[in-house]
Amino acid sequence: MSDERIYSVISPMAGVTDISFRTICHEMGASLTVTEMISAKAVTYKNKKTYELCRLSETEHPVSLQLFGSEPETMAEAAKILAERVPFDMLDVNMGCPMPKIVNNGEGSALMKDPLLAGRIVEALKKATDKPVTVKIRSGFDKEHINAPEIARVCSESGAEMITVHGRTREQYYEGKADWSVIEAVKRAVSVPVIGNGDVTGIDSARKMIETTGCDGIAIGRAARGNPWIFKEISVGEAYIPTVEEKKAMMIRHLNMTVEDKGEYIGVRELRKHIGWYTAGMPGSARLRVSINRAENLEEMKELIAGL
């Protein structure tokens, strides 16, 4: 294993990877940030809330917009609309979301059941944009249908320039252990870069995934919640544990950024879950979370954090 910096991606998470959190992860060392999932259909309907999800900071590049949908024509139309409005660097297709409301519409990980449609979506996007098109998949829809290598092959042959593989099935959601052997099989099946996702919690597991699977980089989702320093750890190549003072400073900065971006009412309420993640396992954190969840304004939140 070389000492070269590991390519790291902050995985898209609904309600988590907004502009503030992505900017922080980028500053900490994430090689690529990815937006929350964006509905292609909602983009074509010119939905205002959806356009809010597409806002990017000037400092977070390279950044990828993640689209979800099941109709090639709609996906292509959305890509053209977004290209005129948003200075993104890549376009990622979500073929991994396990949530019922997405899957029941034939979107997200439901596309794992239809390789031909998956390929058509990638082809349509390649014609609609000159930006790189990438794909996020799971190991399969369920344990009886582990077909990530097939889907990856179809997508790469259709023009996808990078494949991210979450080593769990849709059936697993986020439970159980990720199967890294599927990531290895995808790496063998395609010539484009492969990013491994699942159970990376720090530099040691990142190195182990790359050594085990041969993948070209790693994607981190839930392990980054409350711990953007994980990207610093992977960037510098050694374990990093932030001090309590560093955590407090980061919480206040994250709070200020979100309030500035979304207003005090929304910002304060959105940071409640983040502060829960930042303080998990710290002495007095349970009591703090009770108080934080009752806090109504910025100054109250700051006082609670400062007193931790």
Give the residue numbers annotated as catalytic, written as ranges.
97
**Residue with structure tokens 């799971």?**
138
Q: Which of 93, 89, 87, 169 lies closest to 124, judged by CA? A: 93
**Residue with structure tokens 């990720």?**
178
Q: Give the other-Cβ count within 10 Å of 38's Cβ.
A: 24
